[in-house]
Structures are given as structure tokens and as C-alpha cells.
Amino acid sequence: MTESPDANDPLAPEGADAPVGAGPIRATPDESLAPSEAPVFVTSSTAADEWVAPAEGSDTVPEQGAGSTSTPAGAALAARRRRSRSAWSSRFSLLLVAALVGGLAGHYAAPSANSVLTVNASTQGPGAALLPGGVSIPKLVQHALPTIVSIDVRGAGGEDQGTGMIITSSGLVVTNNHVIANAVQSGTITVTRSGSTKALPATLVGTNPIDDVALIRINSVRGLPTVTFGNSNALQVGDAVVAIGNALGLAAGTPTVTQGIVSALGRTVTAGTSTSTETLTNMIQTDAAINPGNSGGPLIDSAGDVIGMNTAVAGTLASGETSQNIGFAIPAATILSLLPQLKAGQSVVNHGAFIGVEIESNNPQLAQQYGFPVSTGAVVISVISGTGAAAAGVRQGDVIVAINSTTIQNAQDVTQVISALRPGDVVALHVVRGTKHLTLRVTLGRQSKG
């Protein structure tokens, strides 16, 4: 498949002004659903078969005994509360009746038709919501909307809705793989551009179920506006963001907009269906509301650039409590690194190998903050006990700079290398620890099912 060069095309050949990304991240797609006792994350498409994932635990505070009726004092307090509540209920009812009677009296005592009614009114519009720094959210949204589409997929598995971002003027659209999964074997994909009600046919170009990224093409279009990808590796916790997408599939062509901040970086989230699971690492966590149907939509920064793709949201805990304002987006750097393969129709195959660490891309800010002697590589955030990494002596704070003979620039590179290997393979992990450069031999394990 060929594509004519485009000034805004992130897939333009070498020599064009194309953004540079990082590598893929994923776990095995054929593992079972996480245990029922774990908290869940739900990906943000509107599929009936929701994706879930274990999340960080939460503490539950038991109710105290002040209201207990197991003692005479408790029973007396409970009775007193009931009496007080009954008295106020009666009083409230009386107030309602009095208000109604007063209203009727006012109606019958209204002034004559010759009286002049004077009210104050303003023609000034409401003020625009602003991001920190005074950036106007309406202006950001107006700039972004023409580059966003609502996606509807129908196949043997049912119907699903999601969101996509136009990346070339000839109609290539990037979205989550789980949004278009029903159309992989057979089915139809249609897209509706923002501000329109016309559904346009689209075809599937490439899929990557490992990293939950896919590429589709709107048929027979040209001259479309395109998104601009920002530098997700430069994000900091507290940065302002705006999420846009086809939330709940309420109305194609009229995306929902929410505002928030970057809550955390480098998160690892395991998600899956009843037949498979996969692990996404180095995810952006945000408190901008993300809902079913937002999947594949942009998370944009205060410059209006796309720094992530909305993918998952925390769901209900095993205790029945619901999480609050915890959503996840795939970094722009990961998406950019996958686009050439997706355009060529390739799919990454993951054999389920697992190194046993949670990682985050290193950058100059992290290096300065923690005193790392290098500003690239992948920083080990935590080491999972009982894994090959733990047995080999990998430590929190190590910076992975190479695996075997492959140089590691960021967290995506680690996952890309490991995903091509198999459980039982032994790798030479080159790390920087303080001022030391160490080589650790790690035996890869198999990705946990939850």
C-alpha cells in the first residue's frame, strides 16, 4: 500500500518533517480475565463485553459504632434521631404547603395587566473555561474537533463505538485496537466526522492487539485536517490536559470534552476480556473524565497537541466501591513508533515473555531529579517479586540502557524487545546503577493472567 507524501503525515518517508516516537508495549492477548476479587479497569469503548484490569488496591474505613443500637445508649440515640427526622419531615411538609398557598395567594393578588414588568438582562456571553496559564479550552477544542471522528463497528461480536484521530489528509485514522476488534474477521466500520451526521465507510489497514492500537482508512477522501502529536516524553505530573471523544456513543459527530491534569506517569495496567489479557506499560494516568466510547480519542495538552490516546478507565472494586477520576492514555511516543508497522498491515506478535519490572521512560527532568548519570533508557519503578528480574538482582532505580545488543532509549523499547522473545529465554540486561554499569542475566518468565 502506498501513500503520497503529506506535510502533516507522521508516516512520511525519511527526510520529511515527521515526528519521532518510541516503541511498543503489551502483554499476551490470549489470557483469561483477572480474578474476581481484584479491582477492575474498564477500557473506554462501548462494547458489551467490557475489558477489565486489576488496579491498585484501596483501603476501606469501617463505620464507627456511634450509631449502633446494640446498647441502650445507642438505641436511645437512634430513637431520638427518628423523632427528630419525623418532626422535620412534618415541618418540611408544612413549609411546602405554606409555600404553595402563598403562591396561590400571590397569583390571585397579581397586579393588573397595565403594570410594567422590569427585569435585568445581559447580552454578554459566558466566559470561556481556561486551563492553567490562561489557555482557552473552547479554542483548543475548536482547533481539535475537525481532526476527530466517531467510529461505529458492526461484526459477529456485536456493535461497538469509539473514537479516532485523523493522522493523514488522505484519511488514515488511528484508534484503539479493541474499538475495531469486531471487524477484524468480518464486519463493517463507519466513521462520522465531528460536526457531521454522515457516516462514511472505512477499511481496516493494520492492527496491533498487543499495544491496543489500530489503523483504519476513511474511503475516498482527501484534504482532511490532521492532528499534531506532542512530546509525551516531556510530560510532568500536574500538566493540564483535555480529553475528547465519543463518550457513551451518545451522538456520533458531537464529541464530549473533559478537562483535568496528568495525575501520574509510567503506570502499568493489565486489561482483558473473558478470554484474553494484556499489559500496557508506561501509561499516562489522568483525572480528566474518560468514559466508554472515549477509546481512541485524543488527550491533548495546553498547546492543542495530542500527547496520548484515551484507552482505559478504572472501574468498580471488588468491595463494590467505585474508583474516582482514574483514567489511562497510551503515550503519543508509543503510537508514533507503531504507525509504520500498522500502515504496512503488520501485527506485532507477543509470545508472553515477561521480564518482571515496571518501568518509565527516562528523560532529562527525571535524570536531574534523581541524579541519574544518563538521560535516556528505562527507569525501573518497581521489581515484581518471584520474577526473573528479582532473581537476577534488578533493583528499583536501575536505568535499563540495553538488552542484549539493542540500545534502549525509553520504556517502549524494552517492551518491543521482550515481546519478540519467549518465556525461558535469557537476556543480558545492561543497567546503570549510580555510577556503575552492570550486566545482569535475566531469565524471562510468562506474563501473569491477572
Catalytic residue list: 178, 212, 295
Q: Specify the range with the lowest mean pLDDT, choosing from 84-98, 105-119, 219-233, 262-276.
A: 84-98
Q: What is the DSSP string of 272-290?
A: E-SS-EEEEEEEEEE-S--
Q: If you average pLDDT over every residue of the chain, what do you get?
A: 74
CA distance 62 to 358: 32
**Could you tell me where the beta strands, DSSP code E, fall in 301-356?**
306-314, 327-331, 353-354
Cβ contacts of residue 115 below 8 Å, gap of 6+? none
* Model pTM above 0.85: no
Q: Which has more confidence, 194 or 96?
A: 194
C-alpha grid cell, residue 81? 434521631
Question: For the residues 209-226, what does the mean pLDDT come to?
Answer: 90
pLDDT in tens, 17-76: 444 333 333 333 333 333 334 444 555 555 433 344 444 444 433 344 344 444 444 444
CA distance 328 to 75: 47
Question: For the residues 131-159, what does the mean pLDDT come to?
Answer: 84
C-alpha grid cell, residue 174? 488511528
DSSP 304: S
Q: Under CATH, which architecture does the 41-55+132-343 domain have?
A: Beta Barrel (2.40)
Cβ count within 10 A of residue 370:
11
CA distance 268 to 253: 32
- Look at the block and give the residue holding cell 480475565: 33
pLDDT score at 425: 93
Would you say 6 and 343 are in contact if contact means Cβ atoms under 8 Å apart? no
pLDDT in tens, 258-292: 989 999 988 878 665 444 566 787 889 999 888 77
| Residue 345 clears pLDDT 90, i.e. is over it | no
Alpha carbon separation from 179 to 99, 249, 267 (Å, rounded): 53, 12, 22
- Look at the block and give the residue holding cell 467510529: 151
Tell me the domain boundaries of the chain: 41-55+132-343, 353-446
Confidence bin at 415 (pLDDT 50/70/90): confident
Would you say 179 and 214 are in contact if contact means Cβ atoms under 8 Å apart? yes
Would you say 180 and 174 are in contact if contact means Cβ atoms under 8 Å apart? no
Q: Which has more confidence, 323 or 273?
A: 323
Rg (CA), the chain: 27
Would you say 10 and 167 are in contact if contact means Cβ atoms under 8 Å apart? yes
| Residue 197 clears pLDDT 70, i.e. is over it | yes
Would you say 327 and 44 are in contact if contact means Cβ atoms under 8 Å apart? yes
CA distance 211 to 175: 11
Pick the CATH number of 353-446 from 3.90.470.10, 3.10.129.10, 2.30.42.10, 3.30.360.10: 2.30.42.10
CA distance 312 to 272: 11
